[in-house]
């Protein structure tokens, strides 16, 4: 594996394979965008041509290259071109980024997380499944080059710093909102809210058109300066606790808001200001870099004649093996394919392995996935995602456009990656899933039964939870419990909302929490409940009143919903089982598993498993 320093000395061909950036410490010796003519064949001989073997069936490098190209070729080609444009511009502007510059930047990034450079590199490379050279060349160098080229556009002014300080440390206002369903109801809602401001939360819960905030009685996280639409910010910062606003239009919605509480500004100690300024400058620069890069690439593209051969059928026939040209210099398809594999080969190979495992099981059981199955599944998915026409039928074209980003050339990939595996797994579990009467009763209770309205405090330490529980038990009021949640909860939502969380339903998958919540009466405090690695305390404020009370009215709907849920659970289990039972050698990741058949043979022969 070449290091950055070694790549600096081997010429632009290899440097491009490593990310185009590594030749900047010295002038490029040739104006070459792709590797030298003999490099692809030489590299081809050294590469693994079989990337995996699944139950004796090979998955080749060519298969993965084609799969990656069809899905990611266009975006990777754009990235390659942009990187070359940045490389060229840095040379023109005399910008040199050395290996030491890159290493110093990594040290700086690591220090911002209180980590050593080695620990930071290991974490980043593990998370992104990259080697160090690729991370340095494709990410750190590129970011540094863009920052230097766009320095004037990402400059942070004293006003920018002051506004961010006001956002982080300035006063904050917490409000409840009612989103009015329409102008006709806005006046009535406003009159009711002002007649009894204490019932504002209840009005938000039952009448607001925003189901997310209605679930917590309209309560929103505290609003800071420079974070909300100007008309809303101006309004709320002029209010006092208990005030109810007029109807105001914000982003096309009609709102009524009530001021719940005002948090005073937090003073920053003078000795801490330099560190705060430095952090803010870094954060704002990062935020603006992506925006500046778009404009920079657009300008640089005007300086070079770029011909996209890859997406042009006529040019592809005239220039076989070429993906694009920059001022007549080619970027080869081989190079593009290898870049695609380098970036997306690992997840693509995993997907191909899973697909092959499903194909083998379908073949073994003589089951086929037909075009009719594909069409039916697309219609089901469209309907489930809300894509229906005026006649109530699935809007398949709309769903496909949404899933492909209006790029219909990606339809085949969508079918292969999402629709076909779903159809295959459904066929494999057909007849294995049943819905019992008990399932239906539990489903009715979960979806239509009463729910417990609570305030919650979340802890990651049992001792702290016991300490706060004693404080809450000594003063059993809703207001005091909310203050404790704001002070001690480690969950950002319950902390910001003074403990308010969505109501707790039955059969939601957390039996101990549900049992404790439904045992509480209004005004009671729960015991300390362990939920995974966290601990919770609940304060019960009451129960919701069910709207649907007749089981028969929703039985068919529940049956379909539960059948779908249980089917998808069974599909997941089937997929995991088939994968575990398969003999898989993944040479790209260097992993191997013997599979059920190989294990049985080994046991019969008295040999240890591989």
Query: What does each C-alpha distance from 542 to 98, 452, 504, 598 come to in angstroms?
Result: 64, 6, 11, 58
DSSP string, 25-64: TS--SS--SS--TTHHHHHHHHS-SEEEEETTEEEEHHHH
Q: Give CA torsion, residues 14, 17, 19, 24, to 10 deg.
A: 10
180 phi-psi bin (left φ>0, alpha ψ -120 to 50, beta other): beta
Averaged pLDDT score across all residues of the chain: 87
Rounded Cα distance between 526 and 518, Å, is 10
Q: What is the mean pLDDT of residues 214-238?
A: 93
Rounded Cα distance between 355 and 378, Å, is 18
What's the distance, CA 54 to chain centroid?
30
Burial bucket for residue 501 (CB in 10 Å: 0-12, 13-18, 19+)? buried
Q: 126: which residues sit within 8 A by CB, 6+ positions away?
A: none
Q: What is the mean pLDDT of residues 168-182?
A: 94
Are the C-beta atoms of 331 and 325 separated by less than 8 Å?
Answer: yes
Q: Which of 109-113, 307-311, 444-448 has the highest mean pLDDT?
A: 444-448
| pLDDT at position 43 over 70 | no
Query: What does each C-alpha distance from 125 to 118, 121, 344, 428 come to in angstroms?
Result: 11, 6, 14, 37
Q: How confident is the model at residue 230 (pLDDT cuts 50, 70, 90)?
A: very high
Q: What interhelical angle do 141-149 and 99-112 show, nearest 10? A: 100
Q: What is the mean pLDDT of residues 305-316?
A: 89
Rounded Cα distance between 603 and 571, Å, is 29
- For residue 468, the model assigns a pLDDT of 96
- For residue 182, the model assigns a pLDDT of 86
Q: What is the mean pLDDT of residues 139-152?
A: 88
Rounded Cα distance between 404 and 387, Å, is 14
Q: What is the mean pLDDT of residues 181-208?
A: 91
Q: Out of 16-25, 268-277, 302-311, 348-357, which region has the weakest mean confidence (pLDDT)? A: 16-25
Q: Out of 223-237, 394-408, 555-569, 575-589, which region has the weakest mean confidence (pLDDT)? A: 394-408
Q: What is the mean pLDDT of residues 543-565?
A: 92
- Tokens standing for 573? 């289990």
Q: How confident is the model at residue 48 (pLDDT cuts 50, 70, 90)?
A: confident
Q: What is the C-alpha end-to-end distance of the chain, expressed in Å? A: 29
3-class secondary structure per residue, 82-133: HHHHHHHHHHHHCCCCCHHHHHHHHHHHHHHCCCCHHHHHHHHHHHHCCCHH
Rounded Cα distance between 16 and 14, Å, is 5
Rounded Cα distance between 165 and 350, Å, is 46
Q: How confident is the model at residue 600 (pLDDT cuts 50, 70, 90)?
A: low
Are the C-beta atoms of 437 and 370 separated by less than 8 Å?
Answer: no
- For residue 592, the model assigns a pLDDT of 93
Are the C-beta atoms of 84 and 339 separated by less than 8 Å?
Answer: no
Q: How confident is the model at residue 529 (pLDDT cuts 50, 70, 90)?
A: very high
SS3 308: strand
DSSP assignment, residue 221?
P
Q: Which percentage of the chain shows pLDDT scores above 70?
A: 90
Q: What is the mean pLDDT of residues 317-324?
A: 92
Pairing of strands 306-308, 253-263: unpaired
| pLDDT at position 603 over 70 | no
Helix ranges, 449-550 (H) = 462-474, 478-488, 492-496, 511-518
| pLDDT at position 40 over 80 | no
Rounded Cα distance between 334 and 495, Å, is 53
The model's pLDDT over 73-104, given as tens digits with 9 standing for 90+, comes to: 999 999 899 898 999 899 999 999 999 999 99
Are the C-beta atoms of 505 and 446 separated by less than 8 Å?
Answer: yes
Nearest CA to 341 out of 81, 593, 71, 590 is that of 71
- For residue 355, the model assigns a pLDDT of 96
| pLDDT at position 121 over 50 | yes
- For residue 241, the model assigns a pLDDT of 94
Q: Give CA torsion, residues 315, 320, 325, 330, to 10 deg.
A: -170
Are the C-beta atoms of 362 and 424 separated by less than 8 Å?
Answer: yes
Q: How confident is the model at residue 302 (pLDDT cuts 50, 70, 90)?
A: confident
Rounded Cα distance between 212 and 221, Å, is 12
Q: What is the mean pLDDT of residues 313-339?
A: 91
Is the pLDDT higher at 566 or at 16?
Answer: 566
Rounded Cα distance between 362 and 365, Å, is 5
Q: 28: which residues sit within 8 A by CB, 6+ positions away?
A: 11, 12, 15, 91
Q: How confident is the model at residue 373 (pLDDT cuts 50, 70, 90)?
A: very high
What's the distance, CA 101 to chain centroid?
31
Residues recorded for the chain: 610
- For residue 107, the model assigns a pLDDT of 93
DSSP assignment, residue 267?
P
Rounded Cα distance between 11 and 104, Å, is 24
Radius of gyration of the chain (CA): 30
């Amino acid at each position: 594996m070449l290091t950055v320093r070694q790549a600096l000395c081997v010429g632009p061909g290899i440097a491009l394979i490593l990310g185009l950036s590594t030749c900047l410490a010295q002038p490029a010796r040739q104006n070459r965008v792709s590797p030298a003519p003999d490099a692809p064949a030489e590299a081809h001989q050294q590469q693994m041509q079989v990337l995996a073997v699944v139950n004796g069936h090979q998955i080749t490098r060519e298969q993965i290259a084609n799969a990656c190209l069809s899905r990611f070729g266009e975006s990777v080609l754009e990235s390659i071109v942009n990187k070359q444009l940045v490389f060229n511009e840095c040379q023109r502007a005399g910008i040199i980024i050395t290996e030491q510059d890159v290493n110093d930047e990594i040290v700086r990034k690591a220090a911002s997380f209180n980590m050593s450079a080695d620990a930071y590199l290991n974490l980043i490379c593990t998370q992104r499944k990259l080697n160090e050279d690729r991370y340095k060349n494709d990410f750190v160098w590129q970011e540094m080059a863009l920052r230097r080229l766009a320095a004037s556009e990402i400059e942070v002014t004293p006003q920018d710093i002051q506004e961010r300080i006001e956002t982080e440390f300035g006063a904050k206002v917490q409000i409840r909102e009612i989103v009015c369903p329409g102008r006709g109801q806005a006046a009535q809602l406003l009159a009711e809210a002002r007649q009894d401001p204490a019932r504002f939360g209840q009005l938000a819960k039952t009448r607001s058109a925003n189901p997310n905030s209605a679930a917590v009685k309209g309560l929103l996280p505290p609003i800071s300066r420079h974070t909300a639409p100007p008309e809303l910010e101006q309004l709320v910062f002029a209010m006092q606790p208990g005030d109810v606003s007029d109807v105001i239009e914000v982003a096309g919605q009609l709102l009524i808001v009530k001021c719940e509480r005002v948090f005073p500004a937090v003073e920053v100690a003078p000795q801490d200001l330099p560190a705060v300024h430095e952090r803010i400058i870094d954060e704002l620069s990062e935020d603006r870099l992506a925006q500046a890069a778009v404009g920079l690439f657009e300008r640089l593209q005007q300086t070079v004649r770029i011909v996209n051969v890859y997406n042009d059928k006529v040019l592809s026939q005239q220039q076989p093996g070429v993906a694009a040209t920059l001022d007549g210099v080619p970027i080869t398809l081989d190079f593009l394919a290898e870049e695609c594999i380098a970036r997306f080969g690992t997840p693509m190979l995993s997907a191909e392995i899973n697909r092959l495992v499903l194909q083998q099981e379908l073949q073994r059981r003589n089951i086929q996935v037909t075009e009719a199955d594909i069409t039916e599944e697309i219609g089901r998915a469209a309907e489930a995602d809300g894509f229906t026409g005026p006649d109530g039928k699935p809007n398949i074209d709309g769903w496909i456009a949404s899933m492909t980003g209006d790029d219909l050339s990606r339809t085949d990939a969508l079918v292969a990656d999402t629709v076909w595996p779903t159809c295959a797994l459904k066929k494999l579990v057909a007849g294995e899933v049943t819905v019992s009467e008990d399932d239906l009763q539990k489903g009715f209770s979960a979806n239509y039964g009463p729910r417990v309205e609570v305030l919650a405090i979340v802890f990651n330490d049992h001792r702290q939870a016991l300490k706060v529980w004693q404080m809450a038990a000594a003063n059993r009021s809703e207001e005091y419990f909310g203050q404790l949640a704001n002070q001690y909860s480690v969950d950002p939502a319950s902390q910001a909302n003074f403990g308010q969380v969505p109501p707790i339903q039955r059969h939601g998958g957390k039996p101990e929490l549900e049992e404790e919540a439904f045992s509480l009466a209004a005004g009671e405090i729960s015991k300390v409940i362990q939920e995974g690695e966290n601990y919770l305390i609940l304060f019960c404020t009451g129960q919701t009143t069910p709207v649907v009370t007749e089981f028969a009215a929703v039985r068919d709907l529940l049956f379909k919903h539960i059948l779908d849920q249980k089917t998808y659970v069974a599909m997941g289990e089937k997929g995991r089982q088939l994968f575990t039972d398969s003999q898989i050698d993944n040479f790209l990741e260097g992993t191997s598993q013997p599979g059920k058949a190989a294990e049985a043979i080994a046991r019969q022969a008295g040999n240890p498993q591989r």
